[in-house]
Amino acid sequence: MMQVKENNIDAGRYTTNSKSIEFGPWHISYDVSCILPSVCSTKVVCERDDDQFCQFCIYCKELEIPHFPDMVFPKNILTLNYGTSAKISFEPLHALKRVANTVRAIEVSCSEAWLEARPDAARKKKTFDWTFSTDYKGTLSENIVVEPTEETINFDVLKQKDQILFYHDLTLFEDELHDHGISKLSVKIRVMPSYWYLLLRYFLRVDDVLVRSNETRMFHMLNTDYVLREYTAKESQAKDLHMPTSQMKEADDVIPFLAVKEKVTEKIVFKEPNL
């Protein structure tokens, strides 16, 4: 049973657009939302401190980094429910929790300019990874086990021309590094008649310094009871790439040339819930 549903929910401050599809035991859905405000939007409510907070205050409470990316889409969330017992989701808040609040030496070259442009971040005198680099691989619920595997994603299957039942490319956050490049996390999903496939991509380009990508691919073949998850971290110094910055604008143009730092494929297996 495959059915695409569309909902327009006007939730007050956030106009959320959601779409979903039923695919075998899966209920796959995404929400599209507004950008995270840069200040508290409901001071009276948030100051009561009784567990009701606006999105901005939730981010301030949950994250240790003193500054958030220019554009965070707090409710841009992709969710894959497996029956009623397990769930895989992709959420900007969880991804930002994995940003280090220490800065690495390699990136210091334009950190001064960045901090000058953001007096509030500088004032907090807290160094952190202002590139918002994250090794987030998605959020797994209970009743899921991650196992090592020798199996790899069959990319030939992905190349077959088939009808696309469901597709979306969702931006979780993006920052232009004060015109020094780009830092972006996005997730794309496509559901085909016999499988679903997704790519979560963190892409960083610090102009004339370095290019980095952390990509998580997930693949599920219909009528199997597991998902393959392949994580690939890549990074190269700009000087080692021998290509002009103008050719590094699009992630797809430069990622194939980056040096692989880490690559691991795992199997996501669903357990029967404990009743």
Q: How many helices (H) and strands (E) does the chain have?
A: 8, 14
40 or 63: CB nearest Zn ion: 40
Name the one range near Zn ion by CB under 5 A: 6-14, 37-45, 93-101, 172-180. Answer: 37-45
Shortest reach from residue 46's CB to Zn ion, in Å: 3
Shortest reach from residue 33's CB to Zn ion, in Å: 16
Q: Is 3 helix (H, G, I), strand (E, B) or coil?
A: strand
As a whole number of angstroms, the distance between CA 216 and CA 220 comes to: 13
Residue 121 is a binding residue for Zn ion (CB under 5 A): no
Shortest reach from residue 170's CB to Zn ion, in Å: 24
Tokens of 132: 């918002």
Shortest reach from residue 53's CB to Zn ion, in Å: 5
Mention every residue, 6+ apart, whose C-beta is less than 8 A from residue 9.
15, 16, 17, 18
Triad 200, 202, 208: Cα angle to 5°:
150
Residue 219: Cβ within 10 Å count: 23
36 or 254: CB nearest Zn ion: 36
58 or 71: CB nearest Zn ion: 58
Considering only 32, 35, 40, 122, the residue that binds Zn ion (CB under 5 A) is 40
Shortest reach from residue 195's CB to Zn ion, in Å: 42
Helix %, strand %, coil % of the chain (to 5): 20, 40, 35
Shortest reach from residue 99's CB to Zn ion, in Å: 21
Tell me if 216 sits within 8 A of 238, measured CB to CB: no
Positive or negative: CA dihedral 102, 136, 268, 275: positive
44 or 105: CB nearest Zn ion: 44
> Going residue by residue from 42 to 61, which x/- string records binding to Zn ion, judged by CB under 5 A?
----x-------x--x----
Amino acid present at 208: D
Shortest reach from residue 59's CB to Zn ion, in Å: 9
Amino acid present at 36: L
Of the candidates 99, 149, 138, the one whose C-alpha atom is nearest the C-alpha of residue 264 is 149
Name the one range near Zn ion by CB under 5 A: 38-46, 94-102, 115-123, 228-236. Answer: 38-46
12 or 148: CB nearest Zn ion: 12
> Going residue by residue from 56 to 95, which x/- string records binding to Zn ion, judged by CB under 5 A?
-x--------------------------------------
Size of the site for Zn ion (CB under 5 A): 4
Q: What are the C-alpha distances in Å from 248 to residues 111, 176, 184, 214, 224?
A: 21, 14, 14, 16, 38
67 or 137: CB nearest Zn ion: 67
Residues that bind Zn ion (CB under 5 A): 40, 46, 54, 57
